[in-house]
Amino acid sequence: MGTAIVVIILVAVVTLIIWRMVKDRKAGKSSCGCGCASCPMAGQCHSKNKK
C-alpha cells in the first residue's frame, strides 16, 4: 500500500513538471534560466524573437 502511494505521488509530481514545461514553452519562456548573451544557441532557442 505504501509503495502505491509513493508511486501516485511521483507520477503527480512528474505530471506537474511536464505540464509546467509545456505551459512555459507555449508562453515563449526559456527553460535554461540563464542569460543568452554568452549562449552559442541563443539564435536557435529564441528564434521567434528575431527581427
Distance in angstroms (rounded) separating the CA atoms of residues 30 and 43? 12
d(CA 26, CA 28): 5
Nearest-angstrom CA–CA distance, 34 and 41: 12
Q: What is the pTM of this model?
A: 0.57
Ramachandran category for residue 43: left, alpha or beta (phi over 0 → left; psi -120 to 50 → alpha): alpha
Q: Report the chain's mean pLDDT, rounded to a whole number.
A: 79
Give residue-wise pLDDT tens across range 6-51. Answer: 999 999 999 999 999 889 888 877 666 666 667 777 677 655 554 4
Q: What residues does each domain of the chain span?
A: 1-28+43-51
